[in-house]
A and B are shown apart, each in its own frame.
Chain A
Amino acid sequence: MNLVIGSFGIVLALAGALTGAVTIIVGIRSPRDRLQIIGARYAWVAFAGMCLSAFAMQRALITRDFSVQFVAEHGSSLTPPLYNVATMWSALEGSILLWGLILAGYLAVVAKKFSKRLSDPMVSWALVSMFLVMAFFALIMLGPANPFESFNPPVGYDGPGPNPLLQNHILVAFHPPMLYLGYIGFTVPFSFAVAALITGRLGEGWLLITRRWTLFSWGFLTAGIILGAWWAYDVLGWGGYWGWDPVENASLLPWLTGTAYLHSVLVQERRGLLRVWNLSLVCATFLLTILGTFITRSGIIASVHAFSEGGIGPWLLWFFSIVLFAVICLIFWRGEELRSQGGIDSPLSREGAFLANNLAFGGFAFVVLLGTVFPLIVEALQNRQISVGAPYFEKMSMPIGFSLLFLMAVAPILPWRKANTELVRDRIEWPAWGAVLSLVLVVLLGGRGLLPLLGFTFAGFAGTSAMRHLTLSARRNGWKGLVGRSNGGMVVHLGVVFLAIGLIGSSSYISQGSYSLQPGESIQFSESTITYVSSERLSFPNKIQERVQIDIDGSLLEPSIERFTASGQLVPSPSTRTSPVKDIQIALLDPPAGENKSIVIQVTKQPLLLWIWVGGFVMLMGTVLSAIPMQKRKAGRNKQRVRLSGKKDQEK
């Protein structure tokens, strides 16, 4: 039954998407407004179809319907309920189903939000683009990634359950969906960019109407990535939160271009510049999500996260190629029309800083992409296997990170068009003091090493600059001074500064060791005393847990190792003691072989690690603040935007 409903849902989604696209295109070409409006309604058909399929999958999972092959391969009667629901996105086919559901959701919301403007070709073409993307994903689900294949379970069959690493932490229920809300959300500004290219309306229009969507998607993408890091930290056992693994890099790439885009649009809105940059960045973001999915799921690059090798690779690659060339052709076709009127007057200006920002983020994306695919290039050209791992990415991202912090400090200070040195000197005084004081403080507290110290200096520089902006704004406008795009943005920057502090502290001053302990034995580790107190063994329906009690300076930590019965896989569960100053994480490497036997633990100390999560949280708060309008729009206000160039400005 679930099989039928599920498959029907996908077919419905495909039909809805294709019919919608065709209807709208006919409507635009003929032209018949009516058709464009009707075509948009098919978004609801697609959404209904995906809801049906998702519902069918969840029902199959919850009732342990093993006649559905996906459930037979990934479900189990032993899996706890919450993890059972999350099992849907614990493997390829279900993940694509989730993707389809979220995409259809965005389609429906776009159709609703723009319902008064459906006869506008810009909106229509955007919908066509989204319909086509939807159709592609529906096709995949009918082809190589079918979640509703049937299975003939033998009597008494019970599935193996999802991968144990996906069953022991609650973030499995949040990280993938939030990441998807982020990725898939960028389909909206991308589609409008395509529509802008097709209709030739290359001004600020498409940027303005997609502003909220971009912010929303970016927020979720950021949250998703940070939650992923938190999850890794909580589960892995050696204090790591980011491994520069190909799949992690795949999720970072769209974030990098997306962040650049988020900033770069400000320049186009204000001065109509950087148009090609903005189109390219948003298209790149979308393309990178497809490329990222390809890298994750095709198996061509080995990764600890790669959890499937279906036949989906070629499909994704074809889709990537088609979209890439469509975008290139569109940009080529529009050619000179894309060129902005006017240009950047002086590098020492807000526009100049944003351009530098684009270069920095673009460079960062290039580094990450190059490092990830370089082994493939070497293999193709020289038939050798090499690896490009964390050491490369860490070394390369450091100068870029410093540059970004510097830009964060300097850009809010620079005025538009051209800065005069008086002005800059005046505005930069506080942040400069902030930078120096941060450095002195860190040195006094014991921080050493040229690179970390530089990092802290830049972080102080950027943080003080953001605080300066916020303070000035709050002084003028009270509480309202903290909301709105520019102020919210400064709060996000503050979050980035905290994040940077956490990154620098935890990576530069990490210390780690593994120790064998007899019951009752203590060791000294970096100013702390660690004692092995006791151990116990607990049984659960799907796993056996060996847990030890470790005393560290008076508080008790309980790291454990779990062996999952269905697969025999061992999964460690480290335990962490956190404080704003440092995190100490203890992982159980070797459980006791019997009564009163020794254990082996790994201890990791990382200073300032908590600030990574604080920073992430502040970034999200800033995003929310950005979305709150500073003041209600008053009708008829058009006095502000007089451009010295005398061009006609837009009316709100």
Chain B
Amino acid sequence: MFKAESWSDQKIEIIIGNLLRVGVSISAVVVAFGGLLYLTRHGKTLPDYYTFQGEPAALRGFHGIVHNAIALQGRGMIQLGLLLLIATPVVRVLFSIWAFAVERDRMYVGFTIIVLAVLLYSLFGAGAAL
């Protein structure tokens, strides 16, 4: 009984681990591609991070970032890769809900839904609340 449970836990964790690795790999490739675009176009300009101005609105939200990335803008492409990176833990939490549901562990389905709600609030609600 105990063994069977820990075995399936182990299997779930391996799937989650691979899921995370794939997510990070995809995002790293997108970021590197965007980086190449950015460096070939802006490599000779001067960096300006000494004073904080904040990013332009187009690089702060989903629509602007996706729009910029489709237009093959280097900075938009990097930002899209970073969005994919931020999304990997969210997908991991989503997968965990399913995994706990398969194990019929209602309590942990509940806990995981709370974590998901906080993540989604940060990603979608935070901008509006500022």
Q: Do A and B come from one complex?
A: no
A interface with B by C-beta (< 8 Å) = none
